[in-house]
Amino acid sequence: MGVDLGTQSVRAVLVDDDGAMLGGGAAPLGGGRDGVRHEQSPDEWWEAVRTAIGGALRDRPPGGSRQVRALAVCGTSGTVLLTDGTGRPLTPGLMYDDGRATAEAALARERGLRVQPTWALPKVMWLLRRQPATAGVRLTHQPDFIVSRLVGRRTPTDSSHALKTGYDLTSDTWPREELSALGLDPGLFPEVVRPGARLGEVGADGERATGIPAGTPVIAGMTDGCAAQIASGSLSPGSWNSVLGTTLVLKGVTADPVHDSTGVVYNHRAPDGSWLPGGASGVGAGALARAFPDADPAHFDTQAHRYEPSNALAYPLVSGGERFPFLAPDATALLLGEPRSDADHWAALLQGVGHTERLCLDYLDHLGAPQDGPLTFTGGGSRSAYWNQLRTDILGRTVHIPRHSEPALGMAVLAAYGAGAAPTLADAAKRMVGLSHVLRPDPARTARFLQPYLRMVGELERRGWLPAPVAAHARVRARADDLEVP
């Protein structure tokens, strides 16, 4: 079983050793958004997890062995709260894109820690400044809170979720000296294990709450972006997975970490010790819901092809600030030009995400990250056939679409590996992840979108958000692509 705590819902899936779906359940999540503030209730997470797991278990086909043999949980990267010694929440959950900890992030960077304002560490510092001192207070990542409820005690965290809390994946330690310089008690930080490690077993209370039998192994998970990467099967060096949900996340596989002095690109560590570099943009499908809250996406998709390119140019940030492919806390959503209709506006948003995706890949190339492996699309946005082909054409490269594109499946694959069902994570993914189809770019459409892409690059540079060397590299790559188009 895999459980995914997303931004708008919790999803649980139950699959067999060959990746066939045996059951699935979901439950919505609410939360509070106001400018850079974004919070959710940890207790609501738990109730949603219970509902989603119950739905997955009820969906199981009758007959045969349907015992849950292991489960793993993923959450949104950088989402954190404070709990007491018993695991009771002392604060709301500050979500992955909550941007209130700007001053704390600056202070952490002065101490040598490469963090962004939306990362978990500055948010923990922000919470501690407002939470009265309590004996036994602990920082807790989103999945840690759920796992502790399942197991019935505090468990270690995984190194994937700990990354944005300052954990050093190269040395496999917390940076004690830097954290102490920030006035942070070492007792605040949990023990850390590699993803795929066994955290414990479901306890009696966990069984009563969810229906998962006591004694079921609970395996250390990864962030939702890494979970989607596992679900895509993109686990060979040089391969990349683009996860389009509320926001856009790119994850790749390299033998060595990709170094980025700005901290825009960061490196997770895979269970086998390889590196998973990537970044998370504030651009994504959430911009569609903000602009058209009552829209029928399929209806607008059928009209969007008439506006290629759109009369308007969009950089569709979901909320304020950008963190990949550049760091600009003051960045805002852009819509340059006047859309001719709602369909044209819709098209501009779709194309804007595609242009951003291209810039993300150009930035990774600028850093020297290899891109000679396959590119896959996952996430809720990949359910749109029109958008998939549009993004393929804007990028000008072949794209693979997995059979199932959800982080919950990635967690089921990781649970299978952690429980010993496969010798490596790649072996588990090879068996459990299937390919739906392959998309190939239309050179004529690729050429059509080159000028809007370059216009966006220029506008981002003019506003001081995109560094000049990155903009220059994007232009060089665009000119090279232009020469290759017949």
Map out the domains of the chain as residue ranges: 2-221, 235-484
**Cα–Cα–Cα angle for 78, 367, 263, rounded to 5 degrees:** 30
- Sign of the Cα pseudo-torsion (184, 226, 39, 321, in order): positive
Asked whether the beta carbons of 198 and 218 are under 8 A apart, the reply is yes
Q: Comparing 2-221 with 235-484, is the CATH topology the same?
A: yes
Distance between CA 335 and CA 342 in Å, rounded? 13
Sheet hosting strand 2-5, strand order edge to edge? 21-28, 9-15, 2-5, 71-74, 217-219, 198-201
- Per CATH, which fold does 235-484 belong to? Nucleotidyltransferase; domain 5 (3.30.420)
- Print pLDDT tens along the chain (486 aa): 999 999 899 999 999 999 999 999 999 999 888 889 999 999 999 999 999 999 999 977 765 456 899 999 999 999 999 999 889 999 999 999 999 999 999 999 999 998 988 999 999 999 999 887 677 899 999 999 999 999 999 999 999 999 999 999 999 999 999 999 999 998 999 999 999 999 999 999 999 999 999 999 999 999 998 998 899 998 989 999 998 988 999 999 999 999 998 889 989 999 888 899 999 999 999 999 999 999 999 999 999 999 999 999 999 999 889 999 999 999 999 999 999 999 999 999 999 999 999 999 999 999 999 999 999 998 889 999 999 999 999 999 999 999 887 899 999 999 999 999 999 998 999 999 988 899 999 999 999 999 999 999 999 999 999 999 999 999 999 988 766 544
* pLDDT, position 61: 73
Element of type H or E holding 344: helix 342-366
CATH number of 2-221: 3.30.420.40
Question: What pTM was estimated for this model as a whole?
Answer: 0.81
Polymer length of the chain: 486
pLDDT of residue 66: 65
Q: What is the pLDDT at residue 484?
A: 58
Return the residue matching tokens 């030009």. 337
Residue 303: which residues within 8 A CB-CB, separation 6 or more? 343, 346, 347
Task: Report pLDDT for 486.
Answer: 43
pLDDT at 302 (0 to 100) = 96
- On the 0-12 / 13-18 / 19+ scale of CB atoms within 10 A, 268 is buried
Strand order in 138-141's β-sheet? 32-34, 37-40, 93-94, 80-83, 138-141
